[in-house]
Structure 1
Amino acid sequence: MSEQVAVQFKQEFPVFTLPETMLLPHTVMPITVTEPRYCQLTNQALDQSGQIALASVVDKGINEACADLRKVVCLGQIVQHEKIENGYNILVYGLCRAEITHEIPAKAECLYRTVKLRPIESKEEQAQDLEIYRVDLLHYMFRPNMERLENHDLITSWISGPELTTSALFELIACTIFDDSEFKYTLLAEPSSEARCLLVLNELQKLDTSISLINKQSKNRWENGTSLN
């Protein structure tokens, strides 16, 4: 999403509650909306700014409608929507990370929660020069283990291309390679672009080490005459 989108943080934002962190800024996520409360949320969001707060819950074992929300959310923009028989298919683009400052519970006329938010990244932080980490990332992606990743060619094209800022690039890498929702929340809650780059590079190092260990174990099995067939 190349154009700038204005966010008015004085307003209340509708909350789309998820069991775990799935969306980061600069990434997109498709959602099928069928629950009545979220159909109402989508209807009203589309009539207004189209911006919704995607929040995860503290305890996944509790019903999402009444579960406590984690403090940091991804503020998203509905960029595409399609009406279906029982609701909507929507595509949400992550705009920015923000912290909940006030929560308004659902009520009879409004089936979903709303929140007041404050951004947790400064403009100075967003403009920080992170080029050195982009170079480090490119070096990582040409390690033999990393070249085996399913999306390796796509990722290297992102790194080499001029379209993405380094901050946006690392968010995309995190969502493309890693499935760990706790790691994604750690990134979401981290206001420093530099710290997020270092977190992703550290996870790539762990992944590289894990693949090397698996390769070594597999080689040892074959050398010892062990087969899983």
Structure 2
Amino acid sequence: MLKSKRNTIHSKPATNADFSKPGTNFALVSFGMLLAVVLVSGCSGTVGSTQATNPPQQTYKISGTITPAAGGSGATVTLSGASTGTQTADSSGDYAFAGLAPGNYAVTPSKKGFTFSPTSQGVTLSNVDVTGLNFTAAAQQAHTATLSWVASTSAVTGYYVYRGTVDGGPYTLLTSSPVAGLTYTDTTVQSGQVYYYVTTSVDVTGNQSGFSNQVQATIP
């Protein structure tokens, strides 16, 4: 009669696993009475990133000439609209605005003693520079307004002259000292304006009378 052999399996814990090793994941697997430790080493890496960049915006220029040079030279040219700015025309009357984004603009020249035709020009910048935005300057005609009045019946040393731009006042004193005569010429009037004048008389002690009647002057 045969005797059967009896086999005994003894389980032992794994002793070669380093549980303190950084970057290592551990999986515990059970097979009946056997225990095994599977070491799964992790991996790491750096993934680069890219960022899309837009190309710089295209810019454009507005330029022109103010003629004749006598009127254009030194003229102030003002830009308004999508961007604003000022330029001074050179000795030839040339001006330019550079580095402008696409959009709608207006260009207006100015210079004391001159008028300009046209007074202002609008322009749209889109894909190309705008050149030849020209103006013509014309010297303003000098104007004056001459006043005269009747002498006061009282003893006076002179008269003060006042001027306003609104019918009935208020008025601004034009003469720093009394006018001894009976006339006065205003050389500071501007073309296209309407002015209103009054006078007062001054006695020997410096006292002024009330305003005279008002007169109107329209400057062409």
More strand per residue: 2
Answer whether TM exceeds 0.5 for this pair. no
TM-score range, shorter chain: under 0.3
Larger Rg: 2
User: More relative contact order in 1 or in 2 (CA 8 Å, sep 6+)?
Assistant: 1
TM-score w.r.t. the length of structure 1 is 0.27
